Structure 1
Amino acid sequence: MKMSEKKRLHPISVIANILKQLKDAFLPLILVIIIGNKTVSSMWDITVPLAVVVYTIVIGIVSWLRFTYWLEEGELRIEYGVFVRKKRYIPFERIQGISISEGFLQRMVGVVKVNVETAGHQPGEAEAVLTAVTRKEAKQLQRLIQKSKEKTEEIAEILPREESTASFLPNDQGLEQEEKNIIFSMNFWEIFQVALTSGGAFGVISAIFLFATQFDELIPYEKLYKDAQTFIAHGVFYTAVVILLIFIAAYIISVIQNMLRYAFFTVEKIGENIIISRGLLERKKIAIPIERVQGIVIKENIIRRWFGYASVYVIHAGGAFNEGDHGSIVLCPLIKKERIASVILSCLPEYSLNLKFIAPPKRACIRYMLRPLYVLLFPVCIAAFWLRPWGLLLLLLLSIASYFGYLSYQDAGWAISNHQLALRSRLLSVRTVYMLKNRIQSMEASCNWFQQRQRLGTIMATVMSGTGGAGGKVVDLDQKDIQTIYTWFKRTKGN
């Protein structure tokens, strides 16, 4: 295959695009039919859906015929558009990552979907999408882009910028022949544990609520509200049972979603890339260049911590194609804590997890225990007063919150080596961030008036700028410890 020639997507992309357009048009179509029934004859129910389906099919076929892509002069070039011809040229140096996924339709004919993410584009959103290309084309595209970028960098060091060129000849000896090194995988029981402990019930309920708000003009909310008041009047017990059943149903839906998401999860190392594959209905494959890993994050929520499990993320400079914090990608959704060090050593040997953490001083304990009360004290006291006598039980929340503050004090800490900084903090989940010294973009030490009285302060390190940034933070450390960290960061090789 010569990538310099213009190519079309696989014909299955026509069906995929048509189904996507019909799915997006489903809700508006339902609204049009319902509104039209009030003013137009019954033929409206047949004419409108038929017209939408025919139009979508025609547009889908024409869009496929007019969509072409090729590589030329160090760019991925795409031409598309039905009524207006559009051209998009993406230079290789702007491409930050390529993810490969396989939906149900793609797997039926043995093709994949390619998402291209670029620098400057919104993280998690693709700059360009190739809906259906063969696996060979997808891997060859990855290889050509990677090799051409490397070649351009090498030539740029020797020749002036205007003389540098790149060749994009296909090479069949590449990723396919490199030995696969599977570093981590999960069996069915581990995937089930991930799904059980991931939560997500509130997200499902929120999605249902947002879906219902699309019909606010059609759903009789006033009548439903009055019926709900009547139902609640029958007793608190029945109301609590209904709410509990709603949360149980949402939790079951969340478990199923997570099992489908993390099915066949594997992590392998191919050359200088970490390849993450996952998904049942839609198989996704993400390639992470090791050189773009900015840090490692280990999270332990309450339930997983009890059983000795944790989740591992990598902070990736290329953005996030899957769920997680901004700029982070799940490396191990669920793993025994004693296995983490060996997995990290296999794929990221520069990092060392065997560090001895230094805890905040004892005088900081009371501040950790009081910090949650700053937010809860006033609303809990108001609720306890208005709902007395049973509302007084809400005061127990203050003790529970203070206890979690004490746990935050116990788990907080910091550690440094010659080339690495680790910061650990806790709210409900324990979060430990490992950062290489040469990856840290900024270090901030702060101290408010209350901390100054007890010779305490806060340290925060950031490895990637952007919305919210990415890094670690520990509050109420001894000022001498903060000075030690700050001095370590400022020290140069010459010193």
Structure 2
Amino acid sequence: MAEESKTVYQLTMKEILAASITSGRFGLVFSGLLLIYPEFNQFLPEWLINKVEAYVMDNGVYELIVMAAILMAVSWVVSTAGYALKYANFKIERNGNEVRIVQGLFDKKEFVLKLHRIQAITVKEGILREPFGYCSVEVEVIQSIEAAGHEVMLHPFMKKKDVQQLLTYLQLPYETEEEIVHLPKAALRRYVIIGWITSAVLALPIVGASIYFKQNVALFTLIPLFIIFTLLAYARYKSGGYMIRDNQLVMVYRGLAKYTGIMRRRHVQAVGYNQSYFQKKDELCTAVVSVAGHRYEVKHMRKEDELRIYNWYKEKGNTTV
């Protein structure tokens, strides 16, 4: 007898608004506007461009900051509205061996996932959500499901502490892990160096613009830029790690957002590693695990830990769990 359809979770308007505001996609819109500008710029009259440049040179850096803030605010409003429309009326149901996801206000979409086609779980904690304990949950699936690509949003906005409850309701054989094997201290130096190099690269256009527009006050922005990337490097170091428990592997890593990949051994397609010359000196490497075409990477892991993951994967033929 088929199991009755059961609503696991339905987003309220308040939750949709909170999810939209904290989605972090305003940066993509902002970047898009900046990318479009050079193409649009060629259609602008030269007198207008000269007038804008004269205004920038005649006014202080504070006016530039205000202009940038206004542009970011517009980007945030646009991205928030788009996210809210996409996930309005979000509802997830389970019916027998299927999961049904419905979302959208004007462009209503429905995804039906077979439970056995779900290959891995990815929990994403954005930088605006993590401090408040919220995350989104995606599933990695094989190609023949009724959805484009390999990734499907299982839940766009929920408390991280409730993720296990969601997985249990859907009867998915995955368990969240609070404890992980963290990265060695030698990894911290490498994350910090990469952070400093990144901040230096981003500082170049700021320095160039400050010289061109004769706004030396803009150089003071280099200090918070350096601090931000140093703190981000430390956060990446503290977040990274893995955990093996029976037939399950958990890999945790961070870009801007923090990602937690949860996968079963029988679904892992490949395990490998990359090792640079400098990593080799400290017996470190970048561990790579592939599931349903998705790559999970933890950088600057101990080589012995990567070998432990590889040996765990080699036992794949001895289990059907």
Q: TM-score normalised to the size of structure 1?
A: 0.57
**294-303 or 442-451, larger mean C-alpha shift:** 442-451
Match for 1:315: what amino acid? E
* Aligned residue among 311, 314, 317 for 2:139: 314
Equivalent of 1:439 in 238, 247, 267: 267
Q: Does 1:189 align with 2:14?
A: yes
SS of residue in 1 equivalent to 2:181: coil
Instruction: Give the unaligned 5+ runs of structure 1.
Output: 1-173
Question: How big is the shift at 1:421?
Answer: 0.9
For residue 129 of structure 2, give the secondary structure of its aligned residue in structure 1: helix
Cα distance in 1 for partners of 2:59, 2:239 equals: 43
Q: Which residue of 2 aligns with 1:480?
A: 304
Match 2:288 to one of 460, 472, 487: 460
Q: Does 1:305 align with 2:130?
A: yes
Structure-to-structure mapping, 1:82-481, within 5 angstroms:
179-205=4-30, 219-236=43-60, 237-318=62-143, 327-354=150-177, 356-377=179-200, 380=203, 383-384=206-207, 387=211, 388=216, 390-465=218-293, 470-481=294-305
Q: Distance in 2 between matches of 1:204 and 1:321?
A: 28
Single out whichever of 188-197 and 439-448 deviates more from structure 2: 439-448
Identity within the alignment, %: 23
Question: Is the 1:415–1:422 contact (alpha carbons within 8 Å) kept by the matching residues of 2?
Answer: yes
Structure 1 position 408, deviation (Å): 0.8
The gaps in structure 2 that reach 5 residues or longer are none
Would the alpha carbon gap of residues 292 and 446 (structure 1) be closer, same or farther in structure 2, given more than 3 Å must change? same
Q: What secondary structure is seen at the aligned counterpart in 2 of 1:422?
A: strand
How far is the alpha carbon of 1:437 from its aligned partner? Answer: 0.6
- The Cα of 1:477 is off from its aligned counterpart by 1.5
Give the deviation of 1:494 after TM superposition. 4.7
- Aligned Cα root-mean-square deviation (Å): 3.0
The correspondence of residues 24-39 of structure 1 with structure 2, limited to 5 A, is: none
- Checking the alignment, whether the CA contact within 8 Å between 1:433 and 1:471 is kept in structure 2 is no
Q: Is the 8 A contact 2:241 2:298 kept in 1?
A: yes
Rounded Cα–Cα distance in structure 1 between residues aligned with 2:202 and 2:273: 32
Rounded Cα–Cα distance in structure 1 between residues aligned with 2:304 and 2:202 = 37
Q: Kindly tell me: are residues 242 and 214 of structure 1, through their superposed partners in 2, closer, same or farther at Cα, counting changes over 3 Å?
A: closer
Cα separation, 1, equivalents of 2:186 and 2:32:
44
The one-letter code matched in structure 1 to 2:307 is Q
Q: Please identify, of 252-261 and 190-199, the stretch whose mean Cα deviation from structure 2 is larger.
A: 252-261
Residues 273, 365 of structure 1: CA spacing in aligned structure 2 closer, same or farther, 3 A cutoff? same
Code of the residue aligned with 2:14 in structure 1: it is: W
Q: Once the 2 structures are TM-superposed, how far is the Cα of residue 464 of structure 1 from its aligned partner?
A: 2.0
* 1:290-310: CA deviation from partner (whole Å, max 9, x where unpaired): 121111000111110110101
- Decide whether aligned partners of structure 1 residues 410 and 203 sit closer, same or farther in structure 2, where only a CA change above 3 A counts: closer
Asked if the contact 2:102/2:109 (under 8 Å) is kept, the reply is yes
* More off after superposition, 196-205 vs 269-278: 196-205
Alpha-carbon distance in structure 2 between the residues aligned to 1:266 and 1:315: 19
Q: How far has the Cα of 1:232 moved from its partner?
A: 2.3
* CA distance in structure 1 between the partners assigned to 2:278 and 2:28 by the alignment: 38
For residues 184-219 of structure 1, give each alpha carbon's deviation from its aligned partner in whole angstroms, at most 9, with x where no partner exists.
2211111000110113334445666788899888x4
Q: Matched residues in 2 for 1:320 and 1:200: separation? A: 26
Choose 1 or 2 for highest CA Rg. Answer: 1
Matched residue type, 2:238: Q
Q: How many residues align?
A: 313
2: CA distance between counterparts of 1:184 and 1:405? Answer: 35
Give 2:314's aligned residue.
490
Distance 2:199 2:32 in 1: 28
Q: Secondary structure at the match of 1:349?
A: coil
CA contact (8 A) 2:239 2:258 kept: yes
When normalised by structure 2's length, the TM-score is: 0.86
- CA distance change for structure 1 residues 404 and 199 in 2, over 3 Å: closer, same or farther? closer
**Compared with structure 1, are the counterparts of its residues 186 and 371 closer, same or farther at alpha carbon in structure 2 (3 Å cutoff)?**
same
Name the CA distance, whole Å, in 2 between partners of 1:208 and 1:428. 21
